[in-house]
Chains A and B, each alone.
Chain A
Amino acid sequence: MGVDLWQRWPGLRNALVLIAIWELVGQFKLVAGGALPSLSAIVLRLWVDRADYPGHIWATLSASASGFLIGNTIAILAGVLFVTFPVLLRITRGLNIAIFALPPIAIAPILALTLSGMAPRITLAALGVYFVTMSATVIGLSQYDSRAANLVRAYGGAKWQVLWRVQLRGALPAILSGFRIAAPAAVLGAILAEFGGGGRWGLGTYLLGSLGRGEPARIWGIGLVATLIAGLSYVAFALLSARLVGTSRAVSLNPAAPPALRVDPSPWWHRIGLLLCSVALPFVVWWAFLRVLSVPSMLGKTPWDVIHYLFLSELRATAQSRLFSALAETLPITFAGMILGMGFAFVLAVSSRLLPEFTRAFMPVALITQTMPLVALTPLLVLILGRGTSLTLWVTISVTFFPAYVMMAQGLLLVPRAAVELPRAYGAKAWAELRLVAIPASIPYVFAAMRLTAPRALLGVMIAEWLATGRGLGNLLNQSRGYLDFNMIWTVAAVSVLISVGFYQIVLMIERRVLARMGMAATE
């Protein structure tokens, strides 16, 4: 039985091995002079601090739960609207991508300036879940059983009846899988908004307040509790969806998924009009947000204010030079980190075809680290790596590596067995098999992963810069807050969203070209 247990749960065995190594490393202070405390020291510290936690956990949980509820409600309604009126999906495309790609840390200060109390946290949590659930809803609603729909129609059912009886029912598994991914995102959003949000309670607040204590064990404790909450929320929805629909099918995040019509018969001016609407909408929403909340003009800057500040005002020269020198620090490291992270992920995912046992054991670890909130991860890496460029690089690598790895490895598992076995039946060696099948087959997932991870890479760099290194865009944002330089705060936020969206669009364009040439479809 004992041996059986190990064989059945290699993940468990690996976890135990990992914990044992961790304990030893911590006990003997092998990493950066004790920056990685032993697990027992962390648990002990958790016990000592136990009175602190309930309030912080409650604040973070209630903000993320509210954000989760609100964000998902809006997302499902939006998904239904988009499927019913596809033109809406095209008009809101720019807005949807902006919401997906925006680095939460860039808008956290803006939300803190313009909203009050718990609202910034709830908003950021809601923004974090919106895109995942909206795409899952659209995909779920689009992939209904047309025979069942015809049946309802044949009995005189109206469009809404088809929607209600067939499509929504059929979309349930996809929506629930969306929730699963959205839940940790809500936790991350809520914690990120505690940066710049103020207030006494919340794990993010606790973490920030504890950074100056020089107590690694506590910082690790907070990080692990945050991870646990995010991880448990993921597991809860995984179980719920398995229970309700008898499936635990993974919905992979596909930012490109909005199933825009491939062939568009409408006249060119119609298409251009829609495109312009789609580009303009995010700016309109930005402007409307300030108007509706009647944010004082000193705090809230409109798109026009930002353009004026950056290109027309007397301050434009200094503003531009500060912005560009920050970008010059941030962008190269973002790209370097992303490419390295993707590269590691690619090598590991592709070679996992050679070592399936390893993949099975490593996947749970990768999934856990994915639910670890970035804000919790960064201070831990600071403890180990210090505050130099290598920190930023590692933060970026780690935030891009795991999602990219999970996406590529899961994608490779979808390659039909026959396609893999064919070369083997001709006596192909492992390398030939990789070269001929696994590597080309993983290319769609490389692109999908790139789209997914590019915004995360920028977010990772900015968090590291804000918290630790004091360079680049993240620092400019932080410093502008300190100097009450509201023009610059809005400018940095807008520029970082634009960079994310721009990068996303570029990857998407290259992806479409390459995949069309390779005769493959973009991954759903």
Chain B
Amino acid sequence: MTAAPAGISLTAIGKTYRGRGKDVEALRDVTLDCDQGSFTALIGPSGCGKSTALRILLGLEPADCGSVSIGGQTPQQAAAAGVTGVAFQDSALLPWRNVANNIALPLEVLGRRVADYRDDIAQLIALVGLKGYENALPGELSGGMRQRVAIARALVTRPQVLFMDEPFGALDQILRRQMNIELQRIWGETGATTLLVTHGIDEAVFLADRVVVMQAAPGRIAEVIDIPFPRPRAAELFGQPDFHALCDDIAKVLHGG
């Protein structure tokens, strides 16, 4: 939208969880740079550390070593400045707030005047296709609708950097594809640097400029694959042979091939 999008940079990050009996090395020497405005997908098996990487980027956990930068700031600074937006796997809507107020939550946390964002919120609700549901409570919405509210909430601060942790994990295949297409459109309109953590290879390939494949024990980056398909990408891409070929390649990397 207005401000210049910022890039993301992880340099030589390491993180070990001290557990009972044995320690778990969640991340070892992870280095990753995402250019301003790019779309990066992070994919890998359970326990490969992709969620840990995201939590470090969100400032929810410190790294043991290495450095993190979001547009030249630490994660905490970036969060406090409203640079980042986030959507989790669980929509994490507060059940006692209606759709509009749930979307406004980040604004309240950042201490911004919610009244100044009335129009933005209305636009975002329209953008995620929930016009008319402004006053609905989360309990009255379907799972897909709740997830779309969560995405609108991630966008309400006009973030320059957008983090998404399996935001469509709970949705069925059809809805998921719809949401993928919508997310691509929204990303195009906002130009935010986006990092998507996902389990779905096709989703990663469809959305991202680059797919970063991680492996577990210790969590590390196995390979970074550039996605050559031109934008805007249409739903038909899901059916094309070269799309499938690329997905198969990534699957091979994932399975240690």
A: which residues have CB within 8 A of B? 8, 416, 418-419, 421-428, 432, 436-437, 440-441, 443, 518-521
Nearest chain A CB to B17's CB is how many angstroms away? 15
**Residues in A neighbouring B138, C-beta threshold 8 A:** 519
B92 touches A419 (CB 8 A): yes
B37 interfacial by beta-carbon distance below 8 Å: no
A427 touches B90 (CB 8 A): no
Out of A422, A443, A518, A519, name the residue touching B105 (CB < 8 Å). A422
User: A427-B76, A519-B139 are contacts. A418–B88 as well, Cβ < 8 Å?
Assistant: yes
User: A418-B88, A422-B105, A519-B137 are contacts. A437–B94 as well, Cβ < 8 Å?
Assistant: yes
CA–CA, A141 and B207, complex, Å: 46
Out of A421, A426, A437, name the residue touching B110 (CB < 8 Å). A426
**Residues in B neighbouring A519, C-beta threshold 8 A:** 95-96, 98, 137-140
Q: Which residue of B lies closest to A433 (CB)?
A: B109
**Residues in B neighbouring A426, C-beta threshold 8 A:** 79, 82, 84, 86, 106, 109-110, 157
B89 interfacial by beta-carbon distance below 8 Å: yes
B91-125 residues at the A interface, CB under 8 angstroms: 92-96, 98, 105-106, 108-110
8 smallest CB-CB distances across A and B, nearest first, come from: A519-B137, A418-B92, A427-B79, A427-B80, A518-B96, A418-B88, A418-B90, A426-B109
**Residues in A neighbouring B8, C-beta threshold 8 A:** none
A-B contact pairs, 15 of them (CB 8 A): A8-B20, A416-B90, A418-B88, A419-B90, A423-B106, A425-B59, A425-B79, A425-B86, A426-B84, A427-B59, A432-B109, A519-B96, A519-B140, A520-B95, A521-B139
What is the total of A-B residue contacts with beta carbons within 8 Å? 71
User: A440-B96, A520-B96 are contacts. A423–B89 as well, Cβ < 8 Å?
Assistant: no
CA–CA, A444 and B245, complex, Å: 52
CA–CA, A300 and B89, complex, Å: 63
User: A427-B59, A428-B109, A436-B109 are contacts. A422–B92 as well, Cβ < 8 Å?
Assistant: yes
B6 interfacial by beta-carbon distance below 8 Å: no
B: which residues have CB within 8 A of A? 20, 58-60, 76, 79-80, 82, 84, 86, 88-90, 92-96, 98, 105-106, 108-110, 137-140, 157, 163
Out of A421, A427, A441, name the residue touching B88 (CB < 8 Å). A421
CA–CA, A363 and B90, complex, Å: 28
CA–CA, A432 and B110, complex, Å: 10
**Residues in B neighbouring A518, C-beta threshold 8 A:** 95-96
**Residues in A neighbouring B108, C-beta threshold 8 A:** 432, 436
CA–CA, A519 and B136, complex, Å: 9
**Residues in A neighbouring B84, C-beta threshold 8 A:** 425-426
User: A421-B60, A422-B86 are contacts. A427–B92 as well, Cβ < 8 Å?
Assistant: no
B139 touches A427 (CB 8 A): no
CA–CA, A437 and B88, complex, Å: 16
CA–CA, A418 and B20, complex, Å: 25
Q: Which residue of B lies closest to A514 (CB)?
A: B96
A425 touches B92 (CB 8 A): no
Q: Which residue of B lies closest to A419 (CB)?
A: B92
**Residues in B neighbouring A422, C-beta threshold 8 A:** 86, 88, 92, 105-106
Out of B96, B109, B137, name the residue touching A427 (CB < 8 Å). B109
CA–CA, A437 and B97, complex, Å: 11
**Residues in B neighbouring A416, C-beta threshold 8 A:** 90, 92
CA–CA, A361 and B113, complex, Å: 40
CA–CA, A356 and B202, complex, Å: 40
Q: Which residue of B lies closest to A440 (CB)?
A: B96
Q: Which residue of B lies closest to A8 (CB)?
A: B20
Out of B58, B95, B98, B137, name the residue touching A425 (CB < 8 Å). B58
CA–CA, A441 and B20, complex, Å: 32
Q: Which residue of A lies closest to B78 (CB)?
A: A427
Q: Which residue of A lies closest to B89 (CB)?
A: A418
Nearest chain B CB to A239's CB is how many angstroms away? 21
**Residues in B neighbouring A424, C-beta threshold 8 A:** 59-60
**Residues in B neighbouring A436, C-beta threshold 8 A:** 94, 105, 108-109
CA–CA, A423 and B79, complex, Å: 10
Among A423, A425, A441, which residue has the most Cβ atoms of chain B within 10 A? A425
CA–CA, A427 and B20, complex, Å: 31
Given contacts A419-B93, A427-B110, 8 further A-B contacts (CB under 8 A): A419-B90, A419-B94, A421-B58, A422-B106, A423-B106, A424-B59, A436-B108, A440-B94
**Residues in B neighbouring A423, C-beta threshold 8 A:** 105-106, 109
**Residues in B neighbouring A8, C-beta threshold 8 A:** 20
CA–CA, A196 and B80, complex, Å: 65
Nearest chain B CB to A6's CB is how many angstroms away? 14
CA–CA, A423 and B107, complex, Å: 10
**Residues in B neighbouring A428, C-beta threshold 8 A:** 109
Nearest chain B CB to A298's CB is how many angstroms away? 56
**Residues in A neighbouring B92, C-beta threshold 8 A:** 416, 418-419, 421-422
**Residues in B neighbouring A427, C-beta threshold 8 A:** 59, 76, 79-80, 109-110
**Residues in A neighbouring B80, C-beta threshold 8 A:** 427
Q: Which residue of A lies closest to B76 (CB)?
A: A427
CA–CA, A443 and B80, complex, Å: 29
**Residues in A neighbouring B163, C-beta threshold 8 A:** 425
Among B79, B94, B139, B157, which residue has the most Cβ atoms of chain A within 10 A? B94
**Residues in A neighbouring B140, C-beta threshold 8 A:** 519
Q: Which residue of A lies closest to B137 (CB)?
A: A519
CA–CA, A460 and B157, complex, Å: 52
**Residues in B neighbouring A440, C-beta threshold 8 A:** 94, 96
